[in-house]
Structure 1
């Protein structure tokens, strides 16, 4: 079966992290987000993967090339029409039989994707507490009978998880005229398939739509927990590695460092001396954690630097960020309420009691900067020495 993976979204809700890097290429453990989706498709039996790309497609092409894990990779470019069915239609000339469609910014239970392929026509579903935020599936006799987008009165708690196994005929329905929303969505195609076929709901035990910065943090918490500890890099004799810690070849962990897993130190990264890394933490390629720095449950993207005597907790740092010495991140409200964060101009709850800062690519802080919880620093933002930053910048 061919799998179409949608990787063209601009990721406006996850900005500033996606300002110069496509959201599907943001780091989740040891690979980009979209690579986890492609891996799930290949493990489920996909014999070819078509990646639908858009802006900044070069980063996706550079990573996957023409083949990945011995499976051919091809590319289709999404046009100006934004609907997801329009996106899949870009790959139409490569589809000549039953095909699957997966969202490249979702994390799936790999076993469920295999069941999806085996059960087609089928759609992945997951029970949720608040179904009004999703497309909601109705079922009867183990068959999907309807799908309704974000209903005010949901008929069930089964949310559409954005993974589909379509019959060959669905290829012809990708060009159905746009709906009243002005966009032709893949759920419109699913509705047509439901009319013509018995569609099986494949229930997921675990799934994540990675759309906002704290969800990238949660994605890393999930995938880092799956790693098995190993040391391939240069680790000082007095280093303490507790739990599943991966130190890749070419990484350096200096004297006096304590790392409590799950944690991943990637190629070219350096930690220490005398640093403390804990929680589910990713230290990306070429990143630097300096003397007496504490990093807790955070993502440091490639080339990020946290200068000595600093603290970073529950935060996401973009590429080539430089936190000056003594930079301190607050990650907890005094009233213990959920930390709020700005998404597309609106302050929303992260649902997290602890959440620090999100720094876009190239952010630089002066020495002894204090950053309050739930703070967004746009790409290239700077702070002055001894400054306390309480508002997004």
Structure 2
């Protein structure tokens, strides 16, 4: 199955994490998010991958090259991001005149379900949710998809469109669709035509995650870190205690008095300790530092991030080269025990999580004894003063 992977968008809902990188290249369990998408596709039977790239395209090209896990890789460029149908239109020139799959590069899928999707084409990946009106909802009759309805007030079912498709070969000529109300060329219009022209099967996905907002990046890491197996290749002090599925890559160092409770990954160049505590689903990216008497829980620290002394970081995401001054403390729980909210594109949005900490863009620096409130987001390069308490997000504006 020739497979298009859409990886061109700017990921504005994921800012500040995407201000200097494409969303599909955000780290999940030691690999880019889109690498998990590609791996699942290959395991399901993808014979060739075509990445549709645009924003910060070189990051995708440099990671995948011309071959990934034994499968040839090509690239198509979507110069301006004008919707999913437009993205596929940019990629079809690279395809043979055969059926083709389309996957979102910022989604996670289980391989077994994708294999079923590929085998049943023409098909669309489906998933049951409690509140379908927030999604594109599939209208299904006798197992056949008759149409997809976008965010209906009265949903025809509780089965939603996951944005994973297998289209028949003629669909390569159906991509010149009109703009939707939001000014984009939507692939769902192509799906609706496929429903009229042929039989489209809804294939249930056993597991699926749309990684669109920062807290969903935490959820993605929780999923993939839970699949990791214990592997200790770095330098580990005899007085350190590593429990559960912990990966310590070659070149990582764990000092005396450290306790790590997996699942966790310590990538090359990482140093932890002395006397540090790492727990929950935690990714410590390359060249990160977790220093003396620091606790990190259920978090992602990207390349070069440093939490050096006497700090607590819980349920948080720290971008590249973030530096937390000594005594910086992250709050991750509301007193009323309601879900923590986080600012997305200027609006406060519920994360749906009882515990959620902070999101720091690349290069954030905090002064000593800074306190960061639950749900706060700090823009790329933001700084705080010593003893400062940050109760609201700091944006570029």
TMscore range, shorter length? over 0.9
Q: Is the 8 A contact 2:76 2:94 kept in 1?
A: no
- Is 1:266 matched up with 2:271? no
**What corresponds to 2:318 in structure 1?**
317
Q: Indicate if the aligned counterparts of 1:364 and 1:381 stay in contact, CA closer than 8 A.
A: yes
C-alpha deviation, 1:79, in angstroms: 2.9
Query: Which TM-score applies when normalising by structure 2?
Result: 0.97
How far did residue 180 of structure 1 move?
5.3
Report what 1:67 is aligned to. Answer: 67
1:79–1:87 Cα contact (<8 Å) kept: no
Residue 176 of structure 1: CA displacement?
A: 3.5
Describe how 1:36-185 pairs up with structure 2 within 5 A: 36-80=36-80, 82-96=82-96, 97-179=98-180, 181-185=182-186
Q: CA deviation at 1:181?
A: 4.7
Cα distance in 2, alignment partners of residues 81 and 120 from structure 1:
27
Give the drift of 1:177. 4.0
1:61 aligned counterpart, secondary structure? helix
Identify unmatched segments of 5+ residues in structure 1. none
CA RMSD of aligned residues (A): 1.0
CA offset digits 1:112-139 (Å, max 9, x no partner): 1111011100000000011011100011
Query: How far 1:81 sits from its partner (Å)?
Result: 5.1
Indicate the SS of the match to 2:309: coil
Contact 2:54 2:81 in 1 (8 A): no
Aligned counterparts of 2:91 and 2:330: Cα–Cα separation in 1? 44
Q: Report the CA distance shift for 1:314/1:194 in structure 2 as closer, same or farther (over 3 A).
A: same
Question: TM-score if structure 1 supplies the norm length?
Answer: 0.98
Q: For 1:22 and 1:59, how far apart are their aligned partners in 2?
A: 8
Task: Indicate if the aligned counterparts of 2:177 and 2:186 stay in contact, CA closer than 8 A.
Answer: no
- Matching residue of 1:5: 5
Once residues 371 and 69 of structure 1 are traced to their aligned partners in structure 2, the CA distance between those partners, rounded to angstroms, is 41
Q: Is 1:254 aligned to residue 289 of structure 2? A: no
Residue 334 of structure 2 aligns to a residue whose secondary structure is coil
Q: Which aligned segments of 4 or more residues in structure 1 are displaced greater than 2 angstroms? A: 175-183
* Counterpart-to-counterpart distance in 1, 2:106 and 2:81: 19
Structure 1 residue 179: Cα displacement = 4.5
Q: Give the paired residue count.
A: 393
The residue matched to 2:175 in structure 1 has which SS? helix
